[in-house]
Amino acid sequence: MSVDAKIVRRIGHLARIKIEESEVETYAGELNAILGFVEQLNEVDVEGVEPMTSVTPMTQRLRKDEVNLGGHAGKIVSNAPLSEDNFFMVPKVVE
């Protein structure tokens, strides 16, 4: 795929970015370079490679999902600057 001036103007319009006429050719060249790099990535053989989210192996630390009765409201609001009946109090922001 090749990006021309018409496509650059359309991308600018869709992104709500004002692109000066003198910049159109520059952006077209930059977008074509990016697309060329992506095309190179398509040539890489990834057969048998597991998808990963990090370069280092990671496992999630999971806790047992247990139902409890809660009862921690007092502890939760204990550090709040202002609370009442185990609810956070905030300043009024709407007149």
pLDDT tens for residues 10-27?
Answer: 999 999 999 999 999 999
64 is a domain residue: no
Residue 87 host element (H or E): strand 87-88
Q: What is the value of pTM for the model shown? A: 0.51
Q: Is the predicted pLDDT of residue 88 greater than 90, yes or no?
A: yes
23 is a domain residue: yes
Kindly report the average pLDDT of the chain as a whole number.
Answer: 91
In the block, tokens 């600057």 appear at 81
31 is a domain residue: yes
Q: How many domains does the chain have?
A: 1
77 is a domain residue: no
73 is a domain residue: no
Confidence tier at 32 by pLDDT (50, 70, 90): very high
Number of helices and strands (H, E) in the chain? 3, 2
93 is a domain residue: no
56-74: pLDDT as tens digits: 888 888 989 989 888 889 8
Domain extent for 27? 5-38
